[in-house]
């Protein structure tokens, strides 16, 4: 399972959220074999000046939080 956080400038990325989400999800499905129907993306779009980026206002930060899926085997009890 993967959860994706996307940080960027609201002015630049607001209207491109679906495009970015689709591209990221396609890459995760292809490379990590995530299920096509499982998508957990959060856009954290910031106002001008709230993201200090090294290159431009179009700078985008993608954070992936990954963990293994649950096992079908019973887990050990502590």
Tokens 């990954």 found at: 66
Digit-coded pLDDT (tens) for 28-38: 999 999 999 98
Digit-coded pLDDT (tens) for 20-74: 999 999 999 999 999 999 899 999 999 998 988 888 899 999 999 988 766 666 6
Residue at 61 is within a domain: yes
Cα gap 32→30, rounded to integer Å? 6
Q: How many domains does the chain have?
A: 1
| Residue 24 structural domain | 2-66
Q: Count CB atoms within 10 A of the CB of residue 50.
A: 11
Sheet strands (E) in 1-78: 2-9, 41-46, 60-66
Q: Which CATH number characterizes residue 37's domain?
A: 3.30.429.10
The pTM assigned to this predicted structure is 0.80
Query: How does DSSP classify residue 17?
Result: H
Residue at 76 is within a domain: no
């Amino acid at each position: 399972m993967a959860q994706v956080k996307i940080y960027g400038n609201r002015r630049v990325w607001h209207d491109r959220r679906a495009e970015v989400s689709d591209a990221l999800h396609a890459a995760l499905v292809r490379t990590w074999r995530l299920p096509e129907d499982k998508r957990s993306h959060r856009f954290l779009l910031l106002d001008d000046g709230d993201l200090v980026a090294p290159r431009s206002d179009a700078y985008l930060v993608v954070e992936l939080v990954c963990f293994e899926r649950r096992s079908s085997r019973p887990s050990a009890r502590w």
